[in-house]
């Protein structure tokens, strides 16, 4: 399904985003905020049109990746993607640049090694306290914060493995 949405024509992506934003704004306004239908529908139309414009612009900016394209923009896109996922570049310069980016990302994760997961857990506890004394919908945020706390070490390990894969002395991956 993801490939179908990514490869969809611009009009289809725009319609899906407009309808999705429209529905979310209407449901949020009517069910959560208890607003009048007229007010909610006007806001939903405006938000839906803005979301559609953003998606149409983003779709227009997206370009098909051509491995033979040597323009700086195409090379930069390939290098940034290779730093986190996808095939290892065959071009040694692109591989070295992707390795450098992966190491930069790894340094950031290493710097956050202790305080970021702890901050996410504290935020989850605070959100649970708010949910106990206030609106019940805040419970929805608690698993999100806990997932962020668990995901940070996972992302750090993933970035470490990617940097090792892109290292100059590493065997080529196929």
pTM higher than 0.95, yes or no?
A: no
Q: Give the integer Cα–Cα distance in Å for 165 and 102.
A: 10
> How many other CB atoms are there within 10 angstroms of residue 98's CB atom?
25
pLDDT in tens, 141-152: 999 999 999 999
Question: Shortest CA distance to 23 belongs to which of 41, 4, 2, 50?
Answer: 41
pLDDT in tens, 34-53: 888 888 888 888 877 887 78
pLDDT in tens, 57-79: 777 666 555 666 777 777 888 88
Q: Give the integer Cα–Cα distance in Å for 91 and 109.
A: 27
Question: Shortest CA distance to 56 belongs to which of 21, 22, 13, 19?
Answer: 13
């Amino acid at each position: 399904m993801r490939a179908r949405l990514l490869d969809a024509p611009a009009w289809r992506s725009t319609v899906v985003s407009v309808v999705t934003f429209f529905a979310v704004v209407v449901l949020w306004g009517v069910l959560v905020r208890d607003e009048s239908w007229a007010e909610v529908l006007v806001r939903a139309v405006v938000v839906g049109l803005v979301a559609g414009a953003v998606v149409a612009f983003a779709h227009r900016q997206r370009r098909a990746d051509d491995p033979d394209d040597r323009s700086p923009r195409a090379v930069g896109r390939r290098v940034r993607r290779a730093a986190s996922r996808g095939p290892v570049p065959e071009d040694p310069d692109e591989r070295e640049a992707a390795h450098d980016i992966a190491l930069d990302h790894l340094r950031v994760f290493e710097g956050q090694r202790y305080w970021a997961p702890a901050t996410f857990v504290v935020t989850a506890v605070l959100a649970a306290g708010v949910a106990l004394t206030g609106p019940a919908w805040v419970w929805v945020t608690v698993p999100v914060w806990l997932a962020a706390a668990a995901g940070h070490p996972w992302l750090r390990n993933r970035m470490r493995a990617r940097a090792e894969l892109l290292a100059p002395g590493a065997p080529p991956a196929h």
